[in-house]
Copies of this chain bind each other. A is one copy, B any other.
Amino acid sequence: MHAVIMAGGKGTRFWPRSREKMPKHLLDIVCEKTIIQDTIDRVAPLVPAENILIVTGASHADELMKQVPQIPEGNIIIEPIGRNTAPCIGLAALYIKRKSPDGVMVVLPADHLITDAQRFRHVLSAAADMARLGDYLLTIGITPTCPETGYGYLEEGLRKTTVRGEDFYAVKSIREKPALPQAKAFLERGGFYWNSGMFIWRVDTIVEALKKWLPDLHGGLLEIEPALGSDREKSVIEHVYKKIHSISIDYGVMEKAENVLLVKGDFGWSDMGSWDALWEVLEKDEHGNAAHVRGRFVGVDSRNSLIHSPRKLVALVGVEDLIVVETEDSLLVCKRGCSQDVKKVVEILDAKKMKDYL
Contact = CB atoms under 8 A, between A and B. Distances in A.
Which 7 pairs across A and B sit closest by C-beta, in order of nearness?
A: A318-B338, A318-B335, A317-B334, A315-B345, A313-B330, A314-B331, A300-B344
Interface residues of A, number: 36
A312 interface: yes
Interface in A323-342: 324, 326, 329-335, 337-339, 341-342
A298 interface: yes
Nearest to A339: B317
Contacts of A15: 315
Interface string A185-217: 000000000000000000000000000000000
Contacts of A296: 354
B345 A298 contact: yes
B300 A341 contact: yes
A319 interface: yes
Nearest to A338: B318
B312 A329 contact: yes
A357 interface: yes
Contacts of A312: 326, 329-331
Contacts of A348: 298, 300
B313 A333 contact: no
A322 B324 contact: no
Query: Most B CB atoms within 10 A — which of A319, A324, A344?
Result: A319
Contacts of A27: none
Given A301-B338, A319-B334, A322-B333, A313 B354 contact: yes
A309 B329 CA distance: 10
Given A298-B348, A300-B341, A348-B300, A315 B335 contact: no
B317 A345 contact: yes
